[in-house]
Chain A
Amino acid sequence: MPFLDEQPQAQVRQQLEGLKGPVKLVVFTQELECEYCRENRALAQEVADLSDQIAIEVYNFALDKEAVQRYNVDKIPAIVVEGEKDYGVRFYGVPFGYEFASLLEAIQSVSAGDSGLAPESREMLAGLKEPLHLQVFVTLT
């Protein structure tokens, strides 16, 4: 059963219409012992189906060690939103609810290859001397 009904599907399709560059949703999943892996993969597939610019790639967290290492994924379910390059955007946990909007926004900015940040913000970030790891903890409601 799909997660998105007709109307949300149409809305999402419209929102994704202007995507400039190709986006890959790299899904990390597992057959056993991962409670929401199936939903995560199904949701990513549904989103990918709504735009010609979005492709999906699925890796097994236990078996595809090369991919796990390449994307540096340490837990599942995971979706890497990758554009022309890997900007380090990862969704850990199924992006239902409010996080679905975040996923769509991530797809849009990754597709454009632009963070959308203000010049002042970019200036601050330009001053970083070491890699920055941000983990934003959320709940679905």
Chain B
Amino acid sequence: MVESSEFPHLANKYGVMAVPKTVVNERVSFEGALPEPHFLEGVMQAVKSAS
């Protein structure tokens, strides 16, 4: 967990506007509080596209 207002430079770096925003391996991100299966899909997709 990273609390955006305490780390504005990071929130800026990753273009955090809507929260929650999940950043995967510092490269790919997706927004929203997703149900578990969608979250997992989002993570695995992000891993694939970041590699």
**Which residues of A line the B interface, CB within 8 A?**
35-36, 75, 77, 90-95, 99, 102, 117-118, 120-121, 124-125, 127-128, 130, 132-140
Contact = CB atoms under 8 A, between A and B. Distances in A.
Contacts of A128: 47
A135 B51 CA distance: 17
Contacts, number: 90
Contact of B3 (A99, A118, A132): A99
Interface in B1-51: 1-7, 10-11, 14, 16, 19-26, 36-37, 40-41, 43-44, 47, 51
Nearest to A36: B6
A138 B19 contact: yes
Contacts of A95: 1, 3
A136 B2 CA distance: 6
Contact of B1 (A75, A130, A138): A138
A137 B14 contact: yes
